[in-house]
Every structure is written in structure tokens, then in C-alpha cells.
A and B are shown apart, each in its own frame.
Chain A
Amino acid sequence: MTKTIRNFSIVAHIDHGKSTLADRLIQKAGLVNERDFRDQMLDDLDIERERGITVKSNTVTLPYQDADGTEYHLNLIDTPGHVDFTYEVSRALAACEGILLLVDAAQGVQAQTLAHLYSAMEHDLEIIPVINKIDLPSADIESAREQIESDLGLSADDAVLCSAKTGEGVDAIFAAVVERIPAPKVDEKRPLRALVFDARYDSFRGTIVSVRVMEGILRAKESIQLMSNQAVYNIEELGHHCLVRQPAKHLAAGDVGYLIGNIKRISDVSIGDTITLAENPATEPLAGFKLVKPVVFSSLYPISSDDYPSLVEALEKYVLNDASLIYEKDSSAALGQGFRCGYLGLLHLEIVQERLEREFDQAIIMTMPSVQYHFRLKSGETVVVDNPQYYPDPMQIEASEEPYIRANIMIPERYMGVVMELCRQRRGENSDFHYPAPGRIEVKFDLPLAEVIFDFYDKLKSVTQGYGSFDYDMAGYRESDLVKLDILVNGEPVDALATMVHKERARTRGVQICDRLKKEIPRQMFKIAIQAAIGRTVISRSTINAFRKDVTAKCYGGDISRKRKLLEKQKKGKKRMKMVGQVEIPQSAFVSILKTDDN
């Protein structure tokens, strides 16, 4: 039976066409009729559809019959391409025996192509290179083949050519999956061990756990045990993801599927946990996953303090589906009660913000994102600070450290100059480069994490006209010269606008923030002075002039209601504004300073 199972992920750099290829495979397998089909079917979150990116991995089981009439059972996992969600890919890989490594024929091998290839190799997976988008006029199949050989070290003869758009080559992909990806090697006789590699929350059914059965067999109605905490649940339903859940009697070793077991909260199961049977449990859990650690921290406040309880509820519900968001209580003099949150990156932060606003109807303000700094104090104590509110007394600081990353940047050679310049601007050091193939460069740089979390990727894309790509690994902490940059509105420091920055960057940041706020804060009845300061020293300022006049000429023909309704409406509009001291600051002002832009 396991001989006809194939487990594989589609893995690639962002936008190389993973979800579109998944569409073609799903259609070809006849899992969906024409009427119900929509592009990037597996991207089922609103935000995924709107932004055209995959945020969460998705599994689908495809029936397939080969030329000899053998029936196969293909478990496909579509993965996200964005760096923030790399952990989703590594989880998917743990459930597979092979991957389709897509390379966009017009873009060639990019940084994430390489990063994912490495992790697939670590998992000992069969790798099928696929050159996608061959229908594009700008497709350069020959150079894609060369890069597959030189950059990836794979044989170009093994590459399948395809267009996920037109469907060309899809049959060859099915054939390659069946022929080249090994069937899972398993032992059904051993006690059950199933790896939890994903989970979702459904308001009717509770937590729906995605599992890969490694050993033994999982049957409906059995009692299972989570090996991390010994918690026992009864399986209510198990089966395969076939766009809709398709219940089955059992999931045998080697298979990928789901189970539902009255698990109330997603936090009750941890991804990477091993499931075994309550009777006859396994002795050793499976290897599991490295803990994903947040990289960026920022606080979240309701615009209106009255909405705090509803924000609490929204967050509780939100994390049911996104356990990678961590949060704890926080409070601010300017913004009241809120939460300090840790995110995987800025895209993750944006997505959380958008989903809270749209799916949970929260009006929120986010403070300036920060990385985690280390401060060694004169007392000998070391404190970890990600929130400028807890910046230590400067007199007590002996030394400060900030996190660094090792960036891996892939570019065509002609962009070498601008990329070096960009990295140097971002305080990059210790560069190293090599030429995997003529005309292409792989550059490595040590960069402060704080310099890349904001807009480094966008900048890289723009200076390289879209040809540059980037991936990174954490590279520890290094000594740094940090200051706290305060923002004062009419002379009052606003804690929610403060940031910690490298001393050299403080002035530029200060000017930027003052400008942004000036653009975003609407004129009001009184003049508003905005200043950026380090300690008592003001390093930049801007002024928002007051209205010269603020009155309409007449109350139309006795239509007093109209006047009153307008006032009432404007008052309502103020609800999207946060009163900070005597000044109303719109939510957009907080958002605008999240984005940096050097130009």
C-alpha cells in the first residue's frame, strides 16, 4: 500500500509559481470542477488572495493513475516563498520524501532557491528541479539549466520544463514524482509515531492537526497521546485533505493527513510534537523542529482604550491559527493598555495587523518595530530589551550589543557595485563573494538585523531591478553604539514613538520620522511641534501649522441637521485618531513611521 504513496513539497523562491503549479496538479487530478476552481486555490486566506502570496503551507492529496493503471496517492504540500515564513517550508519538508524545486525561467536561481535546496538536502530528500514559466517571452531556459548545474549543483538533465500557466509539462511532473520520489520507507508494525507538522483552527471542529505518520498506524476512534505533555485525546475524525476534508478509516505509516480530536486550542498541541497511541505508546519522540523565534518586536494598542477587551479576545482567536505570533501585556503612557508582540519579520507583522483589522474588526496602532538588544550594565547584569520603554538609564550602560545576520545575496554581476554600496550604507561588514557561474555573484555580508528588517529586501530589489535576492541566517550579537531616540510632540515625549537606533543612524531616522509625522498628522486647530531628541538634545524638528480658518460660510436654508450631522460624523472620524496629549495622531502616522526610506 505505501508503495503507491508519494509525499512531496513544492518549494521555490517567492513568486516562482508554486501555488499556480499546485492548481494545475489539482485540476489534472480532477479534484475540482471548473465551476469551483479559482487561481491559487490553496491560498485560502483573504490576505493570501489579496497579496498574491502564500503565507501558510497547505496540503492536498491527489489521486493519480500512471500509464500502467497503477493508482497512486500523492500528498502535495504547497509552501510559502517569503523569508519570514521559511519555517513553514522546513516543517513541510519533514513530512516528505522529495521536493519539486521550482526555478522561474525568467528569473533563474534566487537566494531562497538555494536556501530551500540546502534544507531539502539536510533532510535527504529527492530533488526534482522544475524550470517553470517557460511560456514567458523573457524565459531563458538555457541559462536556467546552467544555473541549476552551477548554482545548485544538480544535473540539468533531470530538470522538468513546465509552464504552470498553460499546463505544459504537468504530465511530466506527475511522472517524475511517481518515478523519482521514493515511496515512504516505513514500518507499520512498530508503535505509532506521527509527526505534527501543521495545525489550523476551525471554530466548529477545534484544532485540525496535519500529521505525517512515520511508524505504526492511526485509526479513527483511537485514543492518542501527545508525547510532549502526555495529553490524551480521542480521535473523532481523520483523513486526507482533498481541498475539503475527506474522512478515512485510518492513516497508515508513510501517509500524510489530518486528525480532529476535540483539541480546543491550537496551543494545546505544538507543531513538531509526536503523536503516539495512549495504549502501547512509543518510547522515543521524533526529532521535531527547531523553535521559531520572533525576530521583530512591536507593541499593539487599540485606538480607543475602550476596545482593549475586544482586542484581547481577537488576539486569543488569532493565535489559534498563527502560533508563531507571541504576545504579552504591555502598557504605554501615551497609548494605554496593549500588547508587546514578537513577529517573524515585517511581512508577518503587516499580515497580523491586516488580519486583526479585517477579520477581527480591530482598530489598532502598532509601535515602531525593534530587534532585541543586549545591554551590559555597570552592575554586571545583562538585560535584553526589545521595547524602547525599557531602555536602561544611559549612565548605567557599560556596553550594548545588537543582533547580526549573515546575508546571502544573489545577483547578476553587473549589480555588484550598487549592492556593495547598499550593504555598506546598512553598516554591512565582512563581505565575501564567489562566482557560482559566469556573470553571477553570490555575496555574503554581515549586517545588523535592525538594518534589514525594514526595507532591505525592497531596496535590494529596486537597486537590482528585481534581479537580486536575499536570504539570511542569524549570526549572533556584536558590540554596538546604541541610543534611544525620543519623539516629542509639543514638547512631550510620546513613548509609543520612541526607538532604539545605532548612534550613526539616529539623525537620519530622526529627520525621517519628523517628516513622516508631518505628512501624516492632519492640521489641527493648534500648531504642532514635532521633535526628535536623544536625551535632552534635539536632533531634528518639524512643525504642522494650525488652520487659519475653520468655519463654513452658512447653514444652508435652515438645514441645521446637516451641520449637526457633519459634526457628529467628524467626531466619529476622530475615533481613528489617538489623542496623545493635546494632539490627535491618526493611525496612519504610526504606520508611516514603520516604513523607512532613505531617499
Chain B
Amino acid sequence: MSDPAGLYVHVPFCLRKCPYCDFYSTCNLHKVDDFLDALKQELSMRLPSRPCPATVYIGGGTPSCLPPAQLSKLLSLLSNAADLSAAAEFTVEMNPADVDSTRLAILREAGVGRISLGVQSFDDRLLKTLGRRHDSAVAGRAAEDIRRHDFSLGIDLIYGVPGQSMATWQSCLHQAMSLNPEHLSCYELTYAAHTPLTAQVQSGALTALAEDPIAEMFLHSSDWLRAQGYDHYEVSNFACGRPQRSQHNQRYWSRLPVIGLGPAAHSFDGRQRWANHADVAAYVASLKQNQAPEASREQLTTGQARTEALALGLRTRAGVSQDLLNHFPKAACLLPRFQSEGWLRRQDQGWQPTTEGLLRADGMAREII
């Protein structure tokens, strides 16, 4: 690791599984100690020389569901293994139901500067559909608490939920805005395969929203949040000013190295990508035998690297460079077409997606490759 990489830690525990989620996590909190022991081992294996990571992100799962003692332990493992003081950003994901002054104090103490709060919605009915542990009142109080402890606040919202109307989405955005978050992520609800929510839609118990209303919600979020002074810098992300953009996530989109630790974590060192076992037991077992807990690893070809750069770049407002596009033979005839549809704008050395373009980022990438 010559240039500092980003550091990601996956905490694979949740108190309860949300019906739409396909992240790896388990509800068996008895495994936390084993996990922490294994993590310690992985840290010593992956970060032998106590580097200074560029960014730090603790996600999951639900890191905040760890009991305070174990949360402290996790943080001290990290600070023992790496010098976190120089990190440009240090974020921890929290569930509103877990926010309390004990945990916030622990995080503050460890140098965490940013909380990503999984609010998802301010509509209690939709929160039920999403199977969340909190209600809107809890979310509001959590946000205020976080503010009081002087963290930078990022709020995650989900739109396109069955039963949601444009009006409820608008009011959700308003309520989020009233908390003045530095950062806002608005994710369209994704129906991942083999999740209970998807099964409910397939069985007809729930009705998924149609494409048009979802597209309208997307466009509304973009227009309205930009009018509020936010910067729509990636398909699902908004920042109140450039410095508030998520430094860590931007590393993924710009294909900068990020070392992922913990079960199911993904890593990239600039040439290779690898993934850890998406299973606590397998993860713990590997590390007990002093083996890297890797489930897969691949070396990217130049073509694959370009495909990634294109697909990721088209998802960001910054767009993609002409240099990159020159490697795709189909681009020459497609770009003017995308431009005339109003999906891309030409800008000095490359092409930037418009809001309508962000809405079709995957489609454009698919056509170009």
C-alpha cells in the first residue's frame, strides 16, 4: 500500500433482518467476540505496518447494534492497527434505534467524524413495510442527538417503496431537510433476489411501484434537493457542498484502493479485487488457521478495468473522460445520440450525465461496452 488506501470494516450483525436487505449479516450476536478476535487477526495480516488510511468507513450490517463494550473494542482494534488520525473522513453507519449518548461518546472519543444514519423513511407505515426497528420520532431524536455530539450527519432514505406516493416522498424529503444533513443518500428500493420483500411482491401480497412514478420520484428528488443547495453528485447521493461528498464512497467510484475487512467485505488494490467469505463462521475459521479469509480474488484485465471505469463514471455527475471513451468503438455513434436525447453533456475533456442521464446510467454503459 504505497498511496494510502481507504479502509472499510464490515460488521456483519443486525438485531433483525430487514425484508428487502441482501447484505450479508447475521442476527446471532453471540458471535461478536469471535468476530472481533478474527478481525484483530485480519488487521494484523492485512495492515502489518500501521498505515494511515485515507478514509475509514465502518458499515454493515449494523455496527451500531454492537453493545457499547464491543463497539469500543472494535474501535480500539482499529486504532491499534492503523493510524486513523490523518483520515480525511471517518464514518460509522448507525441505526436510529441504536443512537444513544453512550455510543455517540464512544464514537466521538475514537475520532469518528461522520454518522451515516439509516433513517430510510419518515413515514411510519412505510417503515413497517421495510421492517425497520425505529419509527420517525426515533429517527428525528437520533438525528438531533448526533448533531448535539457534533458529528457530520448523513441520512439514508429509500424511495419507491410499495404504498409510497409522490406526496409521502416529498414530505419525507422535507423532514430530512429540516434536520440539515450534510449528506443525503436517496436509494431506490431494490428487489433483490431471494429476499422476503421480493417474495411478497411475487406472491402479490405487495404491489411494486411502476417505473414511471419511481422515475418521477428520482427526478423530483434531484430537482428539489438541488434547489435546496445540494449537489447531486452521484445517482443516489447528494451533498451540501462539495466538501461534504462522501470521500470514502468516491474512492469506490473512482476505482481507488479500498481495503475491506470483515466478512463479505470487498477490497481493491488498483489491480485486483477480492472478497472475504460472506459467512462469519467461515471468516473466523480461516483466520484461526492464520489464512486470509478470502472467498474469491480476480485480477482485472485492462478491458475489465475500462468497463468498470465507464460504468462507474456514468453514475457520477463528473462523468467520463473522452480518453476512456476512445477505447469503446461503439461510443462514437452512441454519444451524439445520448447527447441529443439530453442524457449527456459535452464538457471540455469528456461527457457528463444530466439528471435524465443519471437515470439511465446503466443503460448507457450497457450500450457503450
Contacts and interface: CB of A to CB of B under 8 A. Distances in A.
A570 B364 CA distance: 12
Contact of A563 (B188, B190, B311): B311
Contacts of A559: 266, 275
B16 interface: no
A556 B23 contact: yes
Contacts of A137: none
Contacts of A551: 235, 315, 358-363
B68 interface: no
B173 to A, nearest CB: 16
Interface stretch (B34-42, B81-89, B94-102, B209-217): B209-217
Most chain A CB atoms below 10 A, which of B258, B266, B361: B266
Contacts of B258: 558
Given A548-B211, A563-B308, A568-B307, A553 B190 contact: yes
A526 interface: yes
B311 A557 contact: no
A577 to B, nearest CB: 12
A561 B360 contact: no
Interface string A532-552: 000000000000000111111
A552 B234 CA distance: 12
A571 interface: yes
Contacts of B311: 563-564, 567
B268 interface: yes
Interface string A553-588: 111111111011001101100000000001000000
Most chain A CB atoms below 10 A, which of B265, B308, B362: B362
A525 interface: yes
B363 A550 contact: yes
B369 interface: yes
- What DSSP secondary structure best describes chain A's contact surface? loop
Contacts of A556: 22-23
Given A548-B212, A563-B308, A567-B307, A557 B362 contact: no
Interface string B194-221: 0000000000000000011011001000
Contacts of A547: 211, 360, 363
A587 to B, nearest CB: 19
Most chain A CB atoms below 10 A, which of B215, B218, B367: B367
Given A550-B362, A567-B366, A560 B312 contact: yes
A376 to B, nearest CB: 45
B312 A555 contact: yes
A557 B266 contact: yes
B121 interface: no
Interface string B289-332: 00000000010000010011001100100000000000000000
Contacts of A525: 360, 363-364, 367
Nearest to B212: A548
B312 to A, nearest CB: 7
B315 to A, nearest CB: 7
Nearest to B187: A553
A525 B337 CA distance: 11
Contacts of B232: none
- What DSSP secondary structure best describes chain B's contact surface? mixed
B8 A571 contact: no
Nearest to B365: A567
A557 B359 contact: no
Contacts of A550: 359-364, 366
Nearest to B304: A564
Given A557-B264, A560-B312, A564-B308, A548 B363 contact: no
Contacts of A563: 308, 311-312
The range of chain A's interface size is 20 to 34
Nearest to A550: B363
Contact of A564 (B10, B307, B315): B307
B153 to A, nearest CB: 19
A11 B101 CA distance: 90
A249 B311 CA distance: 72
A557 B218 CA distance: 21
B215 A554 contact: no
A561 B273 contact: yes
Contact of A553 (B10, B235, B260, B360): B235
A571 B10 contact: no
Nearest to B274: A561
Nearest to B366: A570
B262 to A, nearest CB: 10
Given A526-B341, A549-B359, A564-B304, A557 B23 contact: yes
Contact of B266 (A548, A560, A570): A560
Contacts of B273: 560-561
B224 interface: no
Contacts of B140: none
B157 to A, nearest CB: 11
Nearest to B264: A557
A560 B252 contact: yes
Contact of A557 (B59, B337, B341, B361): B59
A549 B215 contact: yes
Contacts of B188: 552-553
A552 B311 CA distance: 11
B72 to A, nearest CB: 24
B208 to A, nearest CB: 14
B266 A549 contact: no
B236 interface: yes
A381 B23 CA distance: 73
A525 B304 CA distance: 23
B308 A560 contact: yes
A554 B187 contact: yes
Nearest to A566: B362
Contact of B218 (A549, A558, A564, A571): A549
Given A552-B190, A567-B307, A561 B359 contact: no
B193 to A, nearest CB: 12
Contacts of A554: 187, 190, 235-236
Nearest to B310: A567
Given A560-B255, A564-B304, 9 more contacts: A526-B341, A548-B215, A550-B359, A551-B235, A551-B363, A554-B236, A558-B265, A567-B362, A567-B365
14 contacts: A526-B341, A547-B363, A548-B212, A549-B211, A549-B214, A553-B188, A558-B8, A558-B258, A560-B255, A560-B266, A560-B268, A567-B311, A570-B366, A571-B369
- Closest 5 CB pairs between A and B? A550-B363, A548-B215, A553-B187, A558-B266, A553-B188
